[in-house]
Amino acid sequence: MRFFSDVRLTYSRAMLAILRDPMWIIVGLAQPLFYLYLFGPLLKASGVTRGLPPGTSSWDVFVPGLLVQLALFSSAFSGFGLLAEMRAGVLERLAVTPMSRLAMLLGRAARDATVVGVQAAILIGLAVPLGLHPHPGLIGAVALLLALAVGLSCLSYALAMVLRSEDSLAPLLQGISIPILLLSGILLPLTLAPGWLDDTAQANPLRHTTDAVRGLMLGRGAIAPGIAVTLGFTLALIAFGVHRFRTTQDVRIA
pLDDT in tens, 66-105: 999 999 988 988 988 888 888 888 887 877 777 888 888 9
C-alpha radius of gyration, the chain, whole number = 19
Q: Would you give the distance in Å from CA 103 to the centre of its chain?
A: 20
Q: What gap in Å lies between CA 165 and CA 212, rounded to an integer? A: 35
Model pLDDT, residue 241: 92
Q: Look at residue 253 and tell me if it is in a domain.
A: no
Q: Look at residue 27 and tell me if it is in a domain.
A: yes
Model pLDDT, residue 88: 83
Q: Look at residue 177 and tell me if it is in a domain.
A: yes
Q: Look at residue 254 and tell me if it is in a domain.
A: no
Q: Look at residue 252 and tell me if it is in a domain.
A: no
- Give 109's pLDDT tier (boundaries 50, 70, 90): very high
Q: Look at residue 12 and tell me if it is in a domain.
A: yes
Q: What gap in Å lies between CA 215 and CA 141, rounded to an integer? A: 9
Q: How much is the pTM? A: 0.91
Q: What gap in Å lies between CA 126 and CA 40, rounded to an integer? A: 12
Least confidently predicted of 55-69, 86-100, 237-251: 86-100
Instruction: Note down the domain range covering 219.
Output: 2-44+52-247
- For the residues 120-139, what does the mean pLDDT come to? 92
Total number of domains constituting the chain: 1
pLDDT digits (tens, 9 = 90+) for 142-173: 999 999 999 999 999 999 988 888 889 999 99
SS3 132: coil
Half-sphere exposure of residue 191: CA atoms within 13 angstroms, side-chain side:
13
In this structure, what DSSP letter does residue 136 have?
A: T
How much of the chain is helix, strand and coil, in % rounded to 5? 80, 0, 20
Q: What gap in Å lies between CA 169 and CA 162, rounded to an integer? A: 9
